[in-house]
């Protein structure tokens, strides 16, 4: 069965904006699916990818090179909504293509042209979309169901195609234009990135083993950059978990793959910068090395990357996705030399697993991924097949300021500026921002409380506060960062609870935070 395109009459951006707002207001999953499916059922063939991308909070172009400053001071908004999806998409592609001398001014002019053609409602939507702040609840799972409903294809077929294609807008467009037959046409292709399988989480090793089943494999969770390596003959391509091509930035990985006997394969793994003693550098060292596109020989000499593979998706022309983990590991071990394999332990004994976890943490790594021996490679999905376990760090910090939110958080002070106490100066040092972990109840409470503590606004988005409120923050680590005054920032900070029992003078100090930095 395929989708019907009786009305291919140029969907407007405002149609997408209104559906996005409706999804934001709707809490029930079926309600969200209904709003999305109604729009997807009437988009044209040339609009499907664009609509799905926008409603998923991303751009078909991925990045267009527009920063926050370029988005400041938009032109006056139009009163009538006339901008079509295809027109907006074409302008964004032009913006991305701008390069060379004078590119900043040219890009700004195109952004102005784009926003001049939008209503205030559309401008607000596009601002959030371009800044990565569009979070209206149309996550992959909801969007998959909406695509299935609009196209008439089973959701299982949509998921399977996503596994093989790696990008939901393209899969959705195929389903909407060609139905089940178009979805079945997707195959695992060497050179085309596959959405990586993702891990769920558990509070401890025992809970992870219970979820995964015993015995299970306990793999080191390295704090590096996830990579997917494709080889066809002498050609190697490497992709990140976001499906970006980083082949040129990781020559060590390319050489490692070319050194394998198989010349037709797809492997899943990690690259990481290690110190001479084998302990990992802070994550941002690895990330900086991988994202820097110039000076590769010097960077390689200064910051060499180590390569570790933990899964095989294809070897010698055979697709392995549907095989259980244990069988994929057998193939991986026959394909990759031991020094390139992620360390692991297979056990069903909780004490042994807990000790292994402690040893991995002592070695400076993030934790473990506990994997079911029977699970297939469920690309693009989280489930009980893979369960990550990490130690949880917490700090008591002071809220220094807050930012007005977007989307679900619009009208609420949400993004917290977090500070640690500096005993020497008597003040506080900012360590980063977060809105993670905030429930609707907390958002409402803190907005009211923050306005009582407000000392003024530093810009149109940010409200400075008297440093009185202490909040307990969970985080995954501390990294060096030139962005903040203390030269460091929290990784993946999230709110656990406010601490009315503590004064600002009881908050953790800068030195305490610095002692946690790798």
How many percent of the chain have pLDDT more than 70?
95
User: Which helix (H) or strand (E) covers residue 490, if one does?
Assistant: strand 488-491
The answer to whether 221 is a known catalytic residue is yes
Say yes or no: 361 and 401 in one domain.
no
324 three-class SS: coil
pLDDT of residue 138: 55
Q: Does residue 192 sit within a domain?
A: no
| Helix 168-184 vs helix 140-151: crossing angle, to nearest 10 | 40
Greatest CA separation found in the chain? Answer: 71
Question: Of residues 32, 108, 221, 433, which has the active-site annotation?
Answer: 221
- CB burial of 277-301 (b: ≥16 within 10 Å; e: otherwise) equals eeebbbbbbbeebbeeeeeeeebee
Say yes or no: 381 and 435 in one domain.
no
Question: Tokens 């074409």, residue?
Answer: 90
d(CA 499, CA 487) in angstroms, rounded, equals 26
DSSP assignment of 321-360, as one string? TTS-HHHHHHHHHHHS-GGGBPPEEEE--HHHHHHHHHHH
Q: How many domains does the chain have?
A: 3
Residue that terminates a domain, selected from 155, 184, 213: 184
Q: Does residue 149 sit within a domain?
A: yes
Say yes or no: 223 and 370 in one domain.
yes
Q: What are phi and psi of 423, to 5 degrees?
A: -60, -30
Q: Does residue 190 sit within a domain?
A: no
Say yes or no: 116 and 234 in one domain.
no
Say yes or no: 382 and 421 in one domain.
no
Instruction: Compute CA 395 distance to the chain's CA centroid, rounded to the nearest angstrom.
Output: 24
Q: Specify the higher pLDDT residue, 357 or 517.
A: 357
pLDDT of residue 269: 97
pLDDT of residue 470: 92
Q: Does residue 458 sit within a domain?
A: yes
Residue 1: pLDDT band by 50, 70, 90 thresholds?
A: very low
- Domain hosting residue 417, numbered range: 393-514
Sign (positive or negative) of CA dihedral 401, 452, 436, 24 = negative
Say yes or no: 468 and 447 in one domain.
yes
Q: For 147-161, 325-339, 497-511, which range has the lowest pLDDT when averaged over its residues?
A: 497-511
CATH code, 467: 2.40.50.140
Question: Tokens 């910090």, residue?
Answer: 397
Say yes or no: 382 and 249 in one domain.
yes
Residue that terminates a domain, selected from 342, 361, 389: 389
Say yes or no: 203 and 349 in one domain.
yes
Span 86-119, pLDDT tens digits? 999 999 999 999 888 888 888 889 999 999 999 9
* The pLDDT of residue 2 is above 50: no
224 and 271 in contact (C-beta within 8 Å)? yes
Residue that terminates a domain, selected from 139, 159, 184: 184
Q: How many residues does the chain have?
A: 518
Q: For 61-65, 155-159, 225-229, 402-406, which range has the lowest pLDDT when averaged over its residues?
A: 61-65
Residue 518: pLDDT band by 50, 70, 90 thresholds?
A: low
104 three-class SS: helix
d(CA 340, CA 43) in angstroms, rounded, equals 47
Say yes or no: 425 and 328 in one domain.
no
517 three-class SS: strand
Say yes or no: 174 and 208 in one domain.
no
Counting Cα atoms < 13 Å in the Cβ hemisphere of 255 gives 9
Sign (positive or negative) of CA dihedral 261, 267, 273, 279 = negative
Q: Does residue 5 sit within a domain?
A: no
pLDDT of residue 325: 97
Per DSSP bridges, beta strands 264-273 and 305-315 are antiparallel
Q: For 179-188, 284-293, 332-341, 446-455, which range has the lowest pLDDT when averaged over its residues?
A: 284-293
Question: Tokens 């908004």, residue?
Answer: 77
Average pLDDT on 144-168 reads 90
404 and 413 in contact (C-beta within 8 Å)? yes
Q: Does residue 141 sit within a domain?
A: yes
Cα end-to-end distance, the chain, whole Å:
55
Nearest to 309 by CA among 281, 286, 337, 351: 337
Say yes or no: 375 and 489 in one domain.
no
Angle at CA of residue 270, ends 264 and 274, nearest 5°:
130
pLDDT of residue 383: 67
């Amino acid at each position: 069965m395929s989708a019907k395109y009786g009305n291919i009459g140029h969907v407007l951006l405002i149609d997408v904006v209104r559906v996005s707002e409706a999804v934001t207001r709707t809490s029930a999953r079926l309600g969200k699916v209904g709003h999305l499916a109604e729009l997807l059922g009437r988009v044209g063939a040339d609009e499907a990818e664009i609509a799905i991308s926008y409603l998923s909070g991303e751009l078909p172009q991925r990045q267009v090179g527009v920063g926050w400053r370029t988005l400041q001071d938009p032109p006056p908004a139009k009163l009538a909504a006339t901008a079509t999806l295809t027109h907006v998409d074409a302008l964004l592609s032009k913006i991305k293509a701008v390069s060379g001398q004078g590119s900043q001014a040219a890009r700004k002019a195109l952004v102005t042209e784009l926003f001049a053609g939008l209503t205030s409602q559309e401008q607000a939507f596009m601002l959030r979309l371009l800044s990565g702040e569009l979070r209206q609840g149309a996550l992959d799972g909801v969007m998959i169901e909406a695509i299935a409903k609009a196209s008439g294809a089973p959701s299982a077929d949509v998921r399977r195609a996503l596994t093989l294609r790696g990008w939901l807008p393209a899969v959705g467009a195929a389903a909407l234009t060609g139905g089940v037959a178009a979805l079945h046409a997707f195959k695992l292709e060497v050179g085309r990135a596959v959405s990586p399988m993702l891990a769920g989480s558990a509070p401890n090793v025992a809970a992870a083993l219970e979820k995964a089943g015993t015995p299970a494999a306990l793999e080191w969770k390295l704090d590096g950059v996830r990579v997917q390596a494709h080889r066809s003959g002498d050609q190697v391509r490497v992709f990140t978990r976001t499906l970006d091509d980083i082949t040129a930035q990781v020559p060590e990985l390319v050489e490692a793959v070319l050194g394998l006997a198989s010349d037709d394969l797809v492997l899943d793994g990690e690259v990481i910068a290690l110190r001479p003693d084998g302990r990992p550098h802070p994550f941002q060292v690895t990330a900086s090395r991988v994202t820097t596109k110039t000076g590769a020989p010097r960077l390689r000499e200064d910051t060499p990357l180590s390569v570790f593979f933990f899964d095989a998706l294809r070897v010698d022309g055979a697709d392995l996705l549907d095989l259980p983990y244990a069988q994929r590991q057998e193939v991986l071990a026959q394909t990759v030399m031991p020094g390139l394999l992620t360390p692991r332990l297979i056990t069903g004994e909780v004490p042994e697993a807990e000790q292994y976890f402690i040893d991995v943490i002592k070695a400076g790594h993030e934790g473990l991924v506990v994997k079911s021996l029977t699970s297939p490679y469920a690309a693009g999905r989280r489930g009980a097949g893979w369960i990550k376990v990490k130690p949880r760090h917490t700090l008591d910090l002071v809220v220094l300021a807050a930012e007005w939110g977007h989307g679900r958080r619009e009208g609420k002070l949400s993004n917290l500026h977090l500070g640690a106490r500096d005993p020497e100066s008597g003040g506080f040092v900012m360590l980063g921002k977060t809105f993670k972990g905030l429930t609707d109840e907390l958002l409402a409470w803190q907005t009211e409380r923050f306005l009582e503590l407000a000392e003024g606004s530093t810009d149109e988005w940010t409200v400075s506060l008297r440093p009185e409120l202490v909040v307990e923050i969970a985080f995954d680590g501390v990294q060096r960062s030139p962005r903040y005054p203390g030269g460091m920032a929290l990784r993946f900070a999230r709110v656990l609870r406010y601490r009315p029992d503590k004064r600002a003078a009881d908050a953790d100090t800068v030195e305490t935070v610095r002692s946690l930095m790798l």
